[in-house]
């Protein structure tokens, strides 16, 4: 008779263990487990609205009025596709480091990626911090994870030349994979090309990835806008450091603008 309660207890503990196994059985794609996206429970297909892809840069993203209260609902009216042209300058912008500026232009020429696009990615990824390390292990100016760095020939991930070259090679790879579609290439840079392929060559319905694409596209278009230089206010590098406030991808970033440094060059600042 004493064995009956023990059997009941054993069955109860087994049920709890099975429940925990199911609850923890999510898969993640290129995200750390603390801020990862549950692939097994994607958002509804209507969360991502695809627009006809044409190579224009004049249209920006729109969002609902209550997007700040519901960041997952700010998404995502896809703009017309930004052009992935190959340029030879940063259009008057600087990272604040002339060596890094030159490395961006050199890598852009070698890989056929617009240097303004590489600059936009770098500003979002690291705000030009050569020693930046993310919670999920991405490193350096272009925030390469070690596996991606190795894929594209990077042996010293914190070396600015290698890090920028690795990021440029990866963007070239993604642009080729997605037929020059900049938004899909950016989504792949953030979430991994596998995630973009898994969702039928569309931007995955991950809030972080969609906000990432929106932000970099906004930066790219701002840097190509002639009015950005005309309206830029003057700040010193010390003032830039004081006002720069990177916003986590889990939140909607409202402000990114161009400022003019004392030497006349431009720089992006986010708040």
Element (H, E) at 257: strand 256-260
Q: Which of 4-18, 26-40, 195-209 has the highest mean pLDDT?
A: 195-209
Short-list 106, 139, 137, 146, CA closest to 122: 139
Provide the pLDDT for residue 87.
Answer: 62
Catalytic residue among 125, 165, 193, 253: 125
Provide the pLDDT for residue 245.
Answer: 65
Torsion angle, alpha carbons of 123, 125, 130, 135, to 10: 150
**Stretch 16-33: mean pLDDT:** 34
Q: Does the CA dihedral 80-83-89-90 come out positive or negative?
A: positive
Q: What is the mean pLDDT of the chain?
A: 75
Reported as a single tens digit per residue, the pLDDT across 99-151 is 999 999 999 999 999 999 999 999 999 999 999 999 989 999 999 999 999 99
pLDDT band of residue 247 (cuts 50, 70, 90) is low
Label residue 5 exposed, middle or buried (CB < 10 Å: 0-12, 13-18, 19+).
Answer: exposed
* Cα 111 to chain centroid, rounded: 20
Question: What does 136-173 look like in DSSP terms, one character per residue?
Answer: T--BTTTTB-HHHHHHTT-S-TT-HHHHHHHHHHHHHH
Short-list 261, 191, 271, CA closest to 30: 191
CB neighbours (10 Å) of residue 120? 26
Contacts of 68 (CB under 8 A, 6+ apart): 74, 252, 254
Locate 182 and state its tokens: 């900049």
Give the HSE-up count for residue 38: Cα atoms under 13 Å, Cβ half-sphere: 10
Active site residue 125: yes
Measured CA to CA, the distance from residue 54 to residue 180 in angstroms comes to 11
- Domains in the chain (CATH in brackets) are 45-230 (1.10.530.10)
**Stretch 179-208: mean pLDDT:** 97
**Stretch 45-72: mean pLDDT:** 34
Q: Which of 89-98, 115-124, 166-175, 240-249 comes out lowest in average pLDDT?
A: 240-249
User: Which residues make beta-bridge pairs with 133?
Assistant: 139
Torsion angle, alpha carbons of 257, 172, 147, 156, to 10: -80
Measured CA to CA, the distance from residue 112 to residue 171 in angstroms comes to 10
């Amino acid at each position: 008779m004493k064995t009956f309660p023990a059997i009941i207890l054993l069955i109860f503990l087994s049920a709890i263990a099975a429940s925990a196994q199911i609850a923890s059985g999510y898969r993640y794609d290129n995200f750390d487990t603390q801020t990862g996206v549950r692939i097994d429970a994607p958002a509804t297909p209507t969360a991502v609205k695809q627009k006809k892809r044409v190579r224009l840069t004049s249209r920006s993203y729109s969002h609902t009025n209550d997007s700040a209260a519901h960041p997952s609902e700010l998404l995502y009216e896809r703009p017309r596709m930004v052009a992935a042209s190959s340029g030879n300058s940063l259009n008057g912008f600087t990272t604040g480091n002339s060596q890094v500026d030159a490395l961006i232009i050199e890598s852009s020429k070698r890989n056929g990626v617009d240097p303004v696009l590489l600059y936009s990615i770098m500003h979002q990824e690291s705000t030009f911090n050569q020693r930046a390390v993310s919670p999920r292990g991405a490193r350096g100016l272009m925030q390469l994870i070690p596996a991606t760095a190795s894929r594209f020939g990077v042996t010293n991930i914190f070396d600015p030349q290698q890090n920028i070259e690795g990021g440029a090679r990866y963007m070239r790879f993604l642009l080729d994979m997605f037929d020059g579609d900049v938004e899909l290439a950016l989504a792949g840079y953030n979430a991994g090309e596998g995630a973009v392929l898994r969702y039928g060559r569309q931007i995955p319905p991950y809030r972080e990835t969609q906000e990432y694409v929106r932000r970099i596209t906004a930066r790219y278009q701002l840097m190509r806008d002639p009015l950005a230089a005309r309206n830029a206010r003057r700040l010193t590098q010390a003032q830039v450091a004081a006002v720069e406030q990177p916003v986590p991808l889990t939140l909607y970033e409202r402000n990114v603008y161009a400022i003019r440094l004392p030497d006349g060059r431009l720089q992006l600042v986010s708040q």
